[in-house]
Chain A
Amino acid sequence: MFGSSLQVLRVNLTNHTISTQILSEETYRLYPGGKALAGYILLNELPTGIDPLSPDNILVCAAGLLTGAPVSTSTRYVVSAKSPLTLGFAQSEAGGFWGPELKMAGFEAVVITGKSEKPVYLFIKDGEAKILSAEHLWGKTTADAEKLIRDENEDDKIRVLQTGIAGENLVRYAGLTNDLRHFNGRGGLGAVFGSKNLRAIAVRGNGRYQQNAADATALMDVGKGLARRVKDSPLSWDLQSHGTIGLVALFQPAGMLPTRNFQEGLFDDWEKISWKGYEEKIFTHARSCYACAVRCKREVKVDGKVSEYGGPEYETVGAFGSNCGVGDIEIVAKANELCNAYMLDTISCGMTISFAMECYERGLLTKADTDGLDLRFGNADAMLTLIEKIAKREGFGDTLAEGSWRVARQIGMGAEEYSISCKRQELPMHEARGKFNVGIGYAISEIGADHLVVPHDGGFANSESYQFKEAAKLGMTNPQPTKVLNAEKMNHFYLMEQWISLENSIGFCFFGPSPRSFIQVEEVMASINHATGWNMSIEEAMRIGERATNMARLFNLREGFTREDDTLPKRIFSALPEGPLSETIIDYDEFQIALSELYRIKGWDTETGVPTPEKLTELGLGWTTTSK
C-alpha cells in the first residue's frame, strides 16, 4: 500500500531469531501505527498477569502512518509494553529521528519478545536486522554507548534508541532516548529493555517517505505550506520562540506552578527557572526534530560547555525546579543531563525525590534513611546526589528506584498521601486544580498520569478562540470554563481524547495539529489521504483514536484495573493554600458524577467503566473478547 511498508520486524531475544510479518492493508487502516498498532499487538499476544520485567513481556516500538512524512511534526513513534511502574498499559511517544529512520529502513514497527542471555543491541539497516553484542555498552552513559554503536558500524547517521544504566538496573521509571535528547520517558520502558538484556535498537535507512506516498507532490505541498506558516500562528510561533519553558511564566500568575511536591502553586524563585532565566543562563540555540519547522527543542550549556544531552523541557524544569524547591536553572540543567546520561524519566524522578523531601520534612524519613542526606526542599546537592544513586540503585537510591507509590507503602504512616500519582505513575507538571479536564485525564488515562494524552481546558473556554474554532471541526459545540466539571465538559474530553489518540497513532506530535498548534484539521486529513490514497473522513480518523483508547482500556481491565483506579491523589481534591486557586477545589462527588457521564459518552458501563459489547462491536473490536 502507499504510505506504509506494512512490515513488522519480529525479534525473539531468547533464541535470537528474526522474522518479518506483513500486515494486511485492511488491518493497518484500523490500526495505522503508534498507539493503535501497539495496542493491537499487545492485546492479541501478551498473556494477562505476567511480570513486566520477565521475558514474557512484549515490547512494541511502532512508528505511525505519517512518521517521517515531509510534514512538520510528523516525527513520532510509540514504545509500548506492560509497564513495570503502573502494571498496566505503557505507551510513551517521542520525536526526534528514530521513528522516521525506522520507516526509511522499511519497517512500521519492531516487536521484541523473550530475553537475551547476554546484553545485546539490535541493528536494523534497509530491511535487514541483526543482533549484536552489547556487553561493551553495558554500564556506559547513553552518549558513550551511542558513539560506540556509530563508530563500530562506521556510520554517524545511525539513529540509536536506547536505555541507559537506569534501565540496566531495572529502575521502574527508567526511560528511553534517541539522539540523546528525545525521550520515551514514561512508564518504565527502559526497565523493560534492561530486563531483556537489550540496550539499544540502532536503525539506518536509505528510503524516503515520499517514494511510497500516493501523491508525493500534494503531500510535499502540504508540508511546504506548513513550513511557511509556522511563524504566522501564535501557538507555533510561541513554541518556536520559547520552547515549552514559556509555561513557567503562565503557570505562576495563575497559581498553578507545581511547587514542593504539589503542596503549593506559587514559587518565589519562579523567574529564575522561567524562559527569562533559561535564556540568560543556559540557552545556546534551538534545534528541531526530523523535518520539523517548529524547532521547539532547546540546547543548553551545562558546567560551562554545550551539553550532549539537549536542554530541559518545561516538565523537567518543573519537576526538578519549583517542585523540588530549587530556583536555579543551572542546577535543573545538570539534573536533566544526569537523567539523560543514565536514562531516567525526569518527571517520575523529580516527583519521587520531591515525595521523599516532603516525607523528610514531615519526619517520616530521617538521615538514617537517606544515607545522611539533609533532604529538605531546595537542597540541590542532595537532589543531584539522589539522581546518581537512583540510576545506580545505590543506598537510598535503591529504595527510590521503585517510584513514589511503592516507597510510600514501604514507609506507611500516612506517606501514601504524599505520593502524587495516578495508577502508580507520578503527575506531570500541570496543576489539575486549575484545569479540571486535565484532572479527569490524569485519572482516566490508561497509562497513568500523563500530560500528552489529555486535552488542556484553557483553549476551549471562548467560542471565538482559535483553539475552540478548530475543535469545533471535531464536533465541539459549547465553550466551557476551565474550572468546572459538567456533561458538556465531558463531551469536550471525549472528542479531544480521540483526536490526541489519533495523533499518537499516526505519528503527529502534540505540538503540530490544532487545536494545540498550527496544523489545521483539514491539513491533517489531507496528509493522511495524500500519503495513502485513501479517502478517509474525519469520523473514520476519530474512530482510530477511540479504538486505540478502548484497546488500552481493555488491556488494563484484563490486568485487574477497576473504576477505583480512575481517581486522583487526595491532595488534588483539596485547595491550594494560597494564590488564585486557594478557593478552588475539584469536588470529589462532582468528579464521580462527571466520570460516570464520561463513561456513558464513551459507551462504557457507567458504574464500572467497562466498554459495552455494543461499543466494542461499533469499533470493530469484537475480537478482543476472545484474545488472551
Chain B
Amino acid sequence: MIHVVVGGYLAFYTPGKQRAIDAPATPGMTITSLLEGIGIPAHEVALMVLNGEIITDPSVEVAGGDEVKFYSASDGG
C-alpha cells in the first residue's frame, strides 16, 4: 500500500474526503497513475512530496511502503 496524505482542498476529491488514505500499489505505478486512481485532478496539485522529498516530475514511479503527500495551491485568507 502507498500511504497518501493530502493538504488543502485536495481532500475534496478523496474517498470520504479523508486527509490520509492508503492506496493499493501496482507494478509501474507513477505519481500520475496514483492521482488518477484516487480521483485527484493532477492540475489542482501544487506541491508533491515523496518520502519526505519534494518532487516535480509526475512520471516518477512509486511502490508499496512509500508515503506521498499532495498539496493544493495556497491562497489568501
Give me the interface of A with B, judged by CB distance under 8 Å.
Answer: 234-235, 237-239, 241, 244, 246-247, 249-251, 253-254, 256, 313-315, 430, 434-435, 451-452, 454, 456-459, 461-467, 482, 510-511, 516, 580
B77 close to A510 (CB less than 8 A)? yes
Q: Tell me whether B16 is interfacial, beta carbon within 8 Å.
A: no
Nearest chain A residue, comparing its CB with the CB of B40? A234
A244 touches B77 (CB 8 A): yes
Cα of A454 to Cα of B77 in the assembled complex, Å: 11
Q: Could you tell me if A464 and B7 are in contact, using CB atoms closer than 8 angstroms?
A: no
- Return chain B residues, CB-CB under 8 Å to A435: 74
Question: Is the CB–CB distance between A458 and B73 below 8 Å?
Answer: yes
Which of B9, B47, B77 has the largest count of A CB atoms less than 10 A from its CB? B77
Q: Closest CB of chain A to B25's CB: distance in Å?
A: 22
Q: A454 contacts which of B13, B54, B73, B76 (Cβ < 8 Å)?
A: B76
Which A residues are in CB contact (< 8 Å) with B7? 246, 249-250, 253
Contact of A238 among B8, B41, B46 (CB under 8 A): B8
Whether B12 and A238, one on each chain, are in contact in the complex, defined by CB atoms closer than 8 angstroms, is yes
Instruction: List residues of chain A with CB within 8 A of the CB of B71.
Output: 250, 253-254
- Distance to closest chain B CB from A516 (angstroms): 6
Would A464 and B74 count as touching, CB distance under 8 A? no
- Asked if B49 CB lies within 8 Å of chain A CBs, one says yes
Q: Does any Cβ of A come within 8 Å of B35's Cβ?
A: no
Residue of A nearest to B13 (CB): A234
Please determine whether A459 and B75 come into contact, CB atoms closer than 8 angstroms.
yes
Chain B CB count within 10 A is highest, among A238, A244, A313, A516, for A238
Q: For B77, give its contact among A256, A314, A466 (CB under 8 Å).
A: A314
Asked whether, in the complex, the Cβ of A466 is within 8 Å of the Cβ of B44, the reply is: yes
- Rounded to whole Å, the gap between the CB of A205 and the closest CB of chain B is 30
Q: 14 A-B pairs, CB-CB below 8 angstroms?
A: A238-B12, A238-B72, A250-B7, A250-B72, A253-B54, A254-B74, A434-B74, A456-B74, A456-B75, A458-B46, A462-B44, A467-B73, A482-B46, A510-B77
- The answer to whether B74 touches A251, judged by C-beta atoms less than 8 angstroms apart, is yes
Interfacial chain B residues near A315, Cβ < 8 Å: 77
A246 to chain B: closest residue by CB: B8
Complex: A192 Cα to B30 Cα, angstroms: 58
Residues of B in contact with A (beta carbons under 8 Å apart): 7-13, 17, 41, 43-44, 46-47, 49, 54, 69, 71-77
Q: How far is the CB of A431 from chain B (nearest CB, A)?
A: 9
Task: State the 4 A-B residue pairs at the shortest beta-carbon distance, nearest first.
Answer: A458-B73, A464-B43, A234-B12, A238-B9
The distance in angstroms between the C-alpha atoms of A482 and B46, with both chains bound, is 10
**A253 in complex: contacting residue of B9, B17, B44, B49, CB < 8 Å:** B49
A250 to B10, CA, bound (A): 11
Instruction: Decide: A253 near B76, CB < 8 A? Known: A237-B9, A246-B8.
Output: no
Which residues of the other chain, B, contact A462 by a CB distance below 8 angstroms? 43-44
Distance (whole angstroms) from the CB of A271 to the closest CB of chain B: 12
The answer to whether A234 and B74 touch across the interface, beta carbons within 8 angstroms, is: no
Asked whether B43 lies within 8 Å of A430 as measured between CB atoms, the reply is no
Distance from B39 Cβ to chain A, minimum over Cβ atoms (Å): 12
A24–B74 Cα gap in the complex (Å)?
41
State whether A237 touches B12 (Cβ < 8 A): yes
Known: A238-B9, A250-B8, A253-B47. A458 touches B75 (CB 8 A): yes
Q: Knowing A253-B47, A254-B47 touch, does A459 contact B9 (C-beta < 8 A)? A: no
Residues of B within 8 A of A247 (CB): 74, 77
Assess A458 versus B74: contact at CB under 8 Å? Given A253-B49, A465-B44, A580-B54: yes
A residues near B43, Cβ cutoff 8 Å: 462-465
Report A-chain residues with C-beta under 8 Å of the C-beta of B13.
234
Instruction: Note all chain B residues with C-beta closer than 8 A to A313.
Output: 77
Residues of B within 8 A of A482 (CB): 46
Minimal beta-carbon separation of A15 from chain B (angstroms): 42
Q: Which of B17, B44, B74 contacts A250 (CB 8 A)?
A: B74
User: Is the CB–CB distance between A461 and B9 below 8 Å?
Assistant: no
Do residues B46 and A461 form an inter-chain contact, with CB atoms below 8 A? yes
Provide the bound-state CA to CA distance between A437 and B10, in Å: 23
A516 touches B12 (CB 8 A): no
Once bound together, how far apart are the Cα atoms of A313 and B77, in whole Å? 8
Measured between beta carbons, the chain B residues less than 8 angstroms from A452 are: 76
CB pair B76 A510 closer than 8 Å: yes
CB-CB < 8 A to B73: which residues of A?
A: 456-459, 461, 465, 467
A444 to chain B, nearest CB (A): 16
| A458 proximity list for chain B (CB < 8 A) | 46, 72-75
User: Shortest distance in angstroms between A309's beta carbon and chain B's nearest beta carbon?
Assistant: 19
Instruction: Find the B residue at minimum CB distance from A441.
Output: B76
B36 CB → nearest A CB, Å: 14
How far, in Å, is A625 (CB) from chain B's closest CB?
Answer: 34
